[in-house]
Structure 1
Amino acid sequence: MYTHPSSPISKLPVELLSYIFALSTHSSADAPNPDDEGRSPLFNTESVKVPLALAGVSRHWGRVAHNTPGLWTSLCITVEMIKRLSEDDDDASSLLNTAHLTSYLALSRNYPLDILIDARDQDWDFFEPEIPSEYEFNTYTPPFSSDHMAFVISLLLPHISRWRSLHILTDSWAPMHSALLHINPCITSFGAPLLESMTLMRCNDFVSFSPEFQPRDMKIPAFLSSVAPSSNKDLLPRLKHLSLRGVHVDWASVVNVLSTSTGGGLHSLELSSHCPDVRPTLTEFQQLLSASLHLRKLAITGSGPFVPDDVDDIVDVIHHDLDAVPLPHLHSITLGYRTALEGQTVLELLNAPNAKVLVLEDATYPGDPEEVDAGSLLTYIGTGEFYDADHNYLVAYELPDGLHYRVAMNKRAVSPFPTSEDLDQEPKSNAAFPMLENVTLKSVRACPRPLRAFFGALPNLQRLELIGMSMHAVHALLPSNPAPSLVAISSCPCPQLQSLCIRGFEQLQMQDFDFIVGGLAAERKDRGACSLKEVDIHVSGQDRGCVAEFKDASGDLKVNIFSRMVEEGEDEDYQELDETDAFEVGGVFNDPVFDAYYSAQASQPR
């Protein structure tokens, strides 16, 4: 009698087969870059289904899979799990299918859990029912409701002692508020002993430009608000990665939790998209940094300490009594500022001499007609100095033969004329981050002089990316003619620069291309700088999908010119729309929901 031979994999020991299953479910190839550690979960809606597929191959594989708890530790809850109970458009009743969730919780036994709750809807139109609006015709109802969120959290809370990572992503505030409202009592009473990474993200960044948090009646209670200041409980001993995007917390309580942690504190911290009235105070922000002395990555965008709008308070804010926080392990800094003062305040609190990566970005409201002059931020990074209350204005004079000097003008002085002492002095040069190797500037507005001061203080810079900048930034990479009185200043900014990437430059002319691919590299090399090895230029235009690649005459420099590529099957009708369509109802410039809400916010007194 003929018998079908068993496959070689069936002869593998159960332990080895179980290990192979684990590799296929939690592939090491998906491991993030060390810089992105803790930022995002290592699984998605597809990868979490792998254990189910493996268990369905055969009875033997099913037994092995069901007895391998590590396969079932990734929990993914999304809007796709919601099923409508009626086809009637007026009936919004729905049911959240949690069969897989309860099965995974049981099969994972006592193993640590990685949780992703993605309540975002691809059809969301930025409307939040809880925020008052003058537009009465919006019938959008978020499919992932507050009740759905509460139900999911109720299933997860009994396992809070196993939570290793928690990522909650929502469009509107109501579901997030529901989640935090149910998690807060449990986590403040019993803690989450295994929690290493937590991301709380409300994806409505536009709301953060409002002077007051919206919706107002859901502003409190803030997350972790019931933690007593004198509490010695180690609630989150393993927390290493914290990301709060559009989600505020009780900042004093967070400081208390991190200060009492025995696990060494945070390695990465991200704060972004916070309305002014829910931001930490200056003291709370300084304490937050002080409780995270092992911080390796810091990202502050549209957040940070609250800075008053009153001009009279500016001097007091900048020249406070708080010391900069020593952060010797800080490797990467991202700062997205909405005002120059906001950026100055954050920078002055950072003592990070070993930082290698810096991203500086203008994070102002896209429709704001006023540009933020970031010259003071660039000057501080380049010189490490803010001028005192009597010297707020830095005036530059250029003399014949390329000579120049700078004077710190006393705004209270009777006479504005410089003294002989002023003529002989140069601002102190003490770069804030002298070890930078990778810098990105995005839409940073400044005149040439601060750009030169910034680039002149980056002796170790190897890669530079300029996004939405002007040619002033490129010209600032050229050597200037230093005055004879200047000493110990390199004749060429960024002498170790090897890679330059340019994106989003408007109205690049042919002479600009010639300068970037020719004159810039040649002149820098003549001044003793390291040869540029690669220049990437991303342009937009008629020749979509075109990529040009060539080398300069010396063969040392490789130049790549990219144009946005249209993928096969991509809808090209968008590019043929008449400009007037943008002004139709619902268009970019005529959105009643957006206009009604933000015009009301803009009219409120500040």
Structure 2
Amino acid sequence: MHYHPLQRYQPPPINALPVELLSYIFVLGTHEPINSDPNADDDCQPFNTDSVKAPLVYASVSRHWRGVALNTPALYTSLCITPELLREVGKTEMLDISGISTYLKRSRNLLVDILIDARDQQWDFEDDGAWFSAEHMTAAMDVLLPHIRRWRSLSILTDVLAPMQAALEPLETHLRLSGAPHLESLRLMRCDAYAAHAPLANIGNSFLSSVTNGDCLLPRLQRLTLRGVPAAWTVLATTLSPALKSLELAFLPLAGQPTILELVALLRTVPHLSRFILNGSGPAFPDSAALSSSPPSFESISLPSLGSLTLGYTSSAAAVALFDLISAPSLHQLILEDATHPTDTIPVDALPLLNRLFSSNAEPAFPNLADLALRRTHLSGAPPSAHLSRLELLGTNPLALALRATDMLCIRGPLATSSLSAAPTEALAQTGFALRAVVEECGDKAPRVICLHESSYASHVGEPDEVFLLGGGTTCVRVFRRAEEEGDEDETMMGSEIEYEEEAFKVGGVFNDPVFDARYGYVG
């Protein structure tokens, strides 16, 4: 008979790490940023919502890990409130805030990042019967507002008005009492762009409408996004910190857009602004005469740090006047987009904007502009030539190719054609002919790289699906096609093109929807 001595338990090697190092590893795994690009689109979430529950996973591995996880306050600084927290209690749905309360307690006195995503996953934009209701928003704010002095970032995303209003009212009350001394990022987003075009839009109370003096309320604010949420613009101008670096005003209803006077006052308070987005949000001029030229009473607004400007315009004259108002010698990226009503039959001509930017008869508005994107822009004629490093076109007339780009030309989807009935394959073929003509005409001055995305939604990351050379090998063309898993309405849900068109124009179809037309106004 053989006896084997009992083997002593050997703890895993990771347990030999100092507690401080293991704690730091947990923090990295919990708060790894999902996008480290400071110039990335503001649509990205402030933190990785999938990793918010990571501390609970760590705590379930072993007694040692549980002790480390429960005693690391930095693990609990990301607070995420979504409809997933709704629980049925009898015949009603209540918001379960027990987990949020626990995170607030365990984070102790550290600064916290908050995301409230109240959007309906079923895309039901009616206030009545909204999935995440105003009552749910009130419950969320009740547990968060007592800790307002610890807020580092706040993002509220809704698709209907009532929950947003339920958040703004108590928020303003607490701002008046104590301010938010450590808040660096504030995003208030009503994610229904069509609501801005509704003829009788109910905009509710504007943000800060109950505040009379905004001094020192948000002393550290660096990023502000108001998407579909108007503000009391005069008060906001006194509230913003001079340190603000990013400002976005987008999809504001006409009645809530800032006037040119209010916008000028707002921009003068943020001299260190580096990123500015004004998309379908004015400015509203007092009368049509003011659009003929830059108002003489306005001195230019100096924004020496402004590097990126996005302008969604509804009037070419107003856009040109805005160019004349802003002095931004460091601006290198400009995005222009037609932000008029989706059913408007007469597009806004963007040629006056490009003439102002690149005319040889006037001082350039932005002398260091190198990166230009034109999205869904209409041109009545060929623009003047420009010296750009990068040019991006999406749904834009091929006349825009006259602008020229030396390094990269990016085409997202087929260029706009004169024939509205052109099939996608025909439009792509015409785009290909136009690009080949540009390369042949420019010769050795043709762009070094052309990125052709066959769909405007095609992936722009990873390796291209096809690569070939033009112009004797001087221009590399990289073709990106839609990934199969992304699909497209044209090829999945819509069936064949002929069958889809027949259904689309029937009553209730995509192009003949009485409910949509009644709400947002039909332009025949």
Within the alignment, does 1:439 sit opposite 2:372 as a pair? yes
Within the alignment, does 1:2 sit opposite 2:7 as a pair? yes
Q: Please list the CA deviations of residues 375-426 of structure 1 after superposition, one character each: whole Å capped at 9, or x if unmatched.
A: 211111224xxxxxxxxxxxxxxxxxxxxxxxxxxxxxxxxxxxxxxxxxxx
Q: 1:505-516 maps to which residues of 2 (within 5 A)? A: 505-506=415-416, 507-508=426-427, 510=429, 513-516=432-435
How far, CA to CA, are the matches of 1:438 and 1:579 in structure 2? 38
Within the alignment, does 1:23 sit opposite 2:25 as a pair? no
Within the alignment, does 1:306 sit opposite 2:288 as a pair? no
Q: Please list the CA deviations of residues 214-238 of structure 1 after superposition, one character each: whole Å capped at 9, or x if unmatched.
A: 15xxx23x22234334x6x411111
- Give how far 1:509 is off: 7.0
How far, CA to CA, are the matches of 2:146 and 2:46 in structure 1? 23
Aligned to 1:536: 451
How far, CA to CA, are the matches of 1:345 and 1:211 in structure 2? 26
Within the alignment, does 1:13 sit opposite 2:18 as a pair? yes
Q: 1:58-73 maps to which residues of 2 (within 5 A)? A: 58-73=62-77
Structure 1 SS opposite 2:247: strand
Aligned to 1:97: 96
Q: 1:249 aligns with which of 226, 231, 250?
A: 231
Counterpart residue type for residue 329 of structure 2: P
1:166 to 1:556, Cα distance in 2 relative to 1, 3 A: same
Structure 2 SS opposite 1:18: helix
Q: 1:550 aligns with which of 444, 449, 468?
A: 468
Q: Which moved more, 1:190-199 or 1:560-569?
A: 560-569
How far, CA to CA, are the matches of 1:568 and 1:294 in structure 2? 39
Counterpart residue type for residue 548 of structure 1: E
1:249 to 1:152, Cα distance in 2 relative to 1, 3 A: same
Counterpart residue type for residue 268 of structure 1: S
Counterpart residue type for residue 344 of structure 1: V
1:104 to 1:586, Cα distance in 2 relative to 1, 3 A: farther
Structure 2 SS opposite 1:22: helix
Aligned to 1:402: none
Aligned to 2:209: 225
How far, CA to CA, are the matches of 2:171 and 2:434 in structure 1? 57
Counterpart residue type for residue 503 of structure 2: D
Counterpart residue type for residue 273 of structure 1: F
1:276 to 1:348, Cα distance in 2 relative to 1, 3 A: farther
1:197 to 1:3, Cα distance in 2 relative to 1, 3 A: same
Q: Please list the CA deviations of residues 289-313 of structure 1 after superposition, one character each: whole Å capped at 9, or x if unmatched.
A: 11010000000000032235x6455
2:230·2:256 contact (CA, 8 Å) conserved in 1?
yes
How far, CA to CA, are the matches of 2:195 and 2:294 in structure 1? 27
1:510 to 1:46, Cα distance in 2 relative to 1, 3 A: closer
Where relative contact order (Cα < 8 A, 6+ residues apart) is larger, the structure is: 1
How far, CA to CA, are the matches of 1:186 and 1:303 in structure 2? 28
Structure 1 SS opposite 2:312: strand
Q: Please list the CA deviations of residues 180-203 of structure 1 after superposition, one character each: whole Å capped at 9, or x if unmatched.
A: 011101112211011000000001
1:177 to 1:509, Cα distance in 2 relative to 1, 3 A: closer
Q: 1:264-303 maps to which residues of 2 (within 5 A)? A: 264-303=242-281
How far, CA to CA, are the matches of 1:78 and 1:551 in structure 2? 49
Structure 1 SS opposite 2:157: strand
1:511 to 1:585, Cα distance in 2 relative to 1, 3 A: closer
2:334·2:371 contact (CA, 8 Å) conserved in 1?
yes
For normalisation by structure 2, the TM-score amounts to: 0.89
Aligned to 2:438: 520
Aligned to 2:516: 594
Aligned to 2:168: 180
- Give how far 1:153 is off: 0.3
How far, CA to CA, are the matches of 1:560 and 1:349 in structure 2? 39
Counterpart residue type for residue 537 of structure 1: L
1:157 to 1:537, Cα distance in 2 relative to 1, 3 A: same
How far, CA to CA, are the matches of 2:509 and 2:42 in structure 1? 38
- Give how far 1:211 is off: 4.8
How far, CA to CA, are the matches of 1:207 and 1:569 in structure 2? 27
Counterpart residue type for residue 337 of structure 2: E
For normalisation by structure 1, the TM-score amounts to: 0.77
Q: 1:572 aligns with which of 492, 502, 524?
A: 492
Structure 1 SS opposite 2:212: coil
2:291·2:321 contact (CA, 8 Å) conserved in 1?
no
How far, CA to CA, are the matches of 1:15 and 1:307 in structure 2? 58
Structure 1 SS opposite 2:52: helix
Q: 1:267-416 maps to which residues of 2 (within 5 A)? A: 267-307=245-285, 311=288, 314-315=291-292, 318-383=294-359
1:56 to 1:292, Cα distance in 2 relative to 1, 3 A: same
Q: Please list the CA deviations of residues 328-366 of structure 1 after superposition, one character each: whole Å capped at 9, or x if unmatched.
A: 100000001122233233322211111011101111122
Structure 1 SS opposite 2:57: helix
- Give how far 1:46 is off: 1.4
How far, CA to CA, are the matches of 2:124 and 2:355 in structure 1? 41
Q: CA RMSD in A?
A: 2.7
1:212 to 1:325, Cα distance in 2 relative to 1, 3 A: farther
- Give how far 1:540 is off: 5.7
Aligned to 1:118: 117
- Give how far 1:445 is off: 1.2
Q: 1:46-195 maps to which residues of 2 (within 5 A)? A: 46-85=50-89, 93-129=92-128, 141-195=129-183
Counterpart residue type for residue 572 of structure 1: T
Counterpart residue type for residue 295 of structure 1: L
Counterpart residue type for residue 179 of structure 2: G
1:289 to 1:568, Cα distance in 2 relative to 1, 3 A: closer
How far, CA to CA, are the matches of 1:295 and 1:557 in structure 2? 37
- Give how far 1:584 is off: 4.2
Aligned to 1:214: 202
1:161 to 1:513, Cα distance in 2 relative to 1, 3 A: same
Q: Give 5+ residue unaligned stretches, structure 1.
A: 130-140, 384-426, 478-492
How far, CA to CA, are the matches of 1:590 and 1:508 in structure 2? 25
How far, CA to CA, are the matches of 1:10 and 1:523 in structure 2? 67
How far, CA to CA, are the matches of 1:76 and 1:159 in structure 2? 15
How far, CA to CA, are the matches of 2:108 and 2:87 in structure 1? 28
- Give how far 1:513 is off: 2.4
Structure 2 SS opposite 1:368: coil
Identity value in percent: 41
Q: Which moved more, 1:65-74 or 1:347-356?
A: 347-356
Q: Give 5+ residue unaligned stretches, structure 2.
A: 1-5, 417-425
How far, CA to CA, are the matches of 2:216 and 2:43 in structure 1? 23
Counterpart residue type for residue 399 of structure 2: H
1:535 to 1:346, Cα distance in 2 relative to 1, 3 A: same
